[in-house]
């Protein structure tokens, strides 16, 4: 399908009609991190399925709601539940949320996810600040006719993950006494986890953590000039690092256990943003 500027504007206008403020920060909550949405003050909650031209989430652990309100004094729009390629959406469709947020007036996007540790010095429950990404799989979300209102045809992604925010995240973690890493997120299409041989290959290629989301969103954000902070919650050691198989339950379990710490970190970061 071919998108137009008006396509995205239809979604944004629907949302703007329901709120009397302009969100500054968008937060996309990954698996098991959805509960942060509950802390938003004076929330306006919109089901994805009610937003024209939006997408609907098909993943059980993702709520499928947009929550708009205030968090740590910042006007935020929060996605509780995101969209992934493995659900059956084309890469081109995965631009929708970020472009809609851009049209709401959002300048900063915080992308969170659950990820497996390729880097064997990381441990489940720890957080990695995304410094850079590798997306060798599949098409670009920006494939197809370029919409000049969002950004240029060819664009730089070398500064996608805003340095100032990475430094801020490090300081926040230090203040909270949390271990934090900074590394490279490797995008994996999924839905199968990787094989041990694939993980060995991704390690050689320079990945520190692997996951099935985030990069389509950060590329879209880079295209329209938004600032990005990416945070990966390490939920498991990647395939082959340990003997046991990786399960969605394990990923969910660590996600839940660590969500309090993760929320504290996010709050601290938002406060200082
Ligand atoms: N691989 C890919 N995606 C993931 C993983 C993993 O090991 N853990 C959480 N999301």
Q: What is the pLDDT of residues 189-221, one digit of tens each?
A: 999 999 999 999 999 999 999 999 999 999 999
% residues pLDDT > 70 (the chain): 97
User: Which of 189, 211, 213 maximizes ligand 1 atoms within 8 Å of its Cβ, making it the mutation to test the pocket?
Assistant: 211
Distance 77 CA to ligand 1 centre (A): 26
The more confidently predicted of residues 257 and 101 is 101
- Residue 144: C-alpha distances to residues 1, 133, 147, 255, 259 (Å): 9, 22, 9, 36, 37
Q: What is the pLDDT of residues 14-56, one digit of tens each?
A: 999 999 999 999 999 886 676 788 889 999 999 999 999 998 8
- Whether residue 246 has its Cβ less than 6 Å from ligand 1: yes
Say whether pLDDT at 252 is over 90. no
Distance 195 CA to ligand 1 centre (A): 11
Distance 42 CA to ligand 1 centre (A): 34
The more confidently predicted of residues 263 and 9 is 9
Distance 210 CA to ligand 1 centre (A): 6
Alpha carbon of residue 24 to chain centroid: 16
* Assigned token pair, 44: 């306006």
The residue nearest atom 7 of ligand 1, judged by CA position, is 116
% residues pLDDT > 90 (the chain): 82
- Whether residue 128 has its Cβ less than 6 Å from ligand 1: no
Residue-level pLDDT at 61: 63
Say whether pLDDT at 1 is over 80. no
Residue-level pLDDT at 2: 76
What does the pLDDT average to over 108-125? 96
Residue-level pLDDT at 32: 62
User: Which of 87, 210, 237 maximizes ligand 1 atoms within 8 Å of its Cβ, making it the mutation to test the pocket?
Assistant: 210
The residue nearest atom 10 of ligand 1, judged by CA position, is 115
- Whether residue 210 has its Cβ less than 6 Å from ligand 1: yes
Q: What is the pLDDT of residues 119-171, one digit of tens each?
A: 999 999 999 999 999 999 999 999 999 999 999 999 999 999 999 999 999 99
Ligand 1: atom nearest CA of 117 is 7
Residue-level pLDDT at 250: 84
Task: Dump the DSSP string for the chain.
Answer: ----HHHHHHHHHHHHTT-SS---EEEEE-TT-GGGGGG-EEEEEEEGGGSTT------TT---EEEEEEETTEEEEEEES---GGGT--GGGGGHHHHHHHHHT--EEEEEEEEEE-STT--TT-EEEEEEEE--SS--TT-SS--TTT--SS---TT-B-HHHHHHHHHHHHHTT--EEEEEEEE---SS---HHHHHHHHHHT-SEEESSSHHHHHHHHHTT-EEEEEEEEEEEPTTTSSSPP-HHHHHHHHHHHHHHHHHHHHHHHHH-
What does the pLDDT average to over 103-126? 97
- Whether residue 193 has its Cβ less than 6 Å from ligand 1: yes
Nearest Cα to Cα of residue 236 among 227, 246, 226:
246
Residue-level pLDDT at 240: 93
Q: How far separated are the first and last CA of the chain, in Å rounded? A: 37
What is this structure's pTM?
Answer: 0.96
Burial classification of residue 158, based on how many CB atoms lie within 10 Å of its CB (0-12 exposed, 13-18 middle, 19 or more buried): exposed
């Amino acid at each position: 399908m071919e998108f137009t500027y008006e396509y995205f504007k239809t979604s944004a206008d629907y949302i703007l009609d329901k709120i009397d403020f302009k969100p500054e920060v968008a937060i996309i909550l990954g698996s098991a991190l959805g509960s942060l949405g509950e802390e938003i003050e004076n929330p306006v909650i919109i089901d994805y399925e009610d937003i024209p031209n939006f997408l609907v989430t098909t993943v059980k652990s993702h709520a499928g709601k947009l929550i708009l309100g205030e968090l740590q004094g910042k006007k935020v729009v929060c996605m509780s539940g995101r969209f992934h390629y493995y659900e059956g959406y084309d890469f081109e469709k995965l631009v929708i949320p970020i472009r809609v947020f851009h049209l709401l007036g959002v300048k900063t996007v915080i992308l969170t996810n659950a990820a497996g540790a390729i880097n064997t010095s990381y441990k489940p429950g720890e957080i990695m600040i995304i410094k850079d990404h590798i997306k060798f799989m599949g098409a670009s979300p920006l494939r197809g006719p370029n919409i000049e209102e969002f950004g240029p045809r060819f664009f730089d992604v070398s500064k996608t993950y805003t340095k100032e925010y990475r430094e801020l995240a490090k300081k926040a973690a230090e203040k909270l006494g949390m271990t934090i890493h900074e590394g490279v997120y490797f995008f994996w299409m999924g839905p199968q986890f990787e094989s041990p041989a694939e993980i060995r290959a991704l390690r050689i290629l320079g990945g520190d953590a692997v996951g099935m989301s985030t990069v389509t969103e950060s590329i879209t954000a880079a295209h329209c000039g938004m600032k990005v902070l990416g945070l990966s919650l390490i939920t498991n050691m990647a395939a082959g690092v340990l003997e046991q198989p990786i399960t969605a339950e394990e990923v969910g379990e660590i996600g839940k256990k660590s969500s309090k710490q993760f929320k504290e970190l996010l709050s601290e970061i938002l406060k200082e943003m």
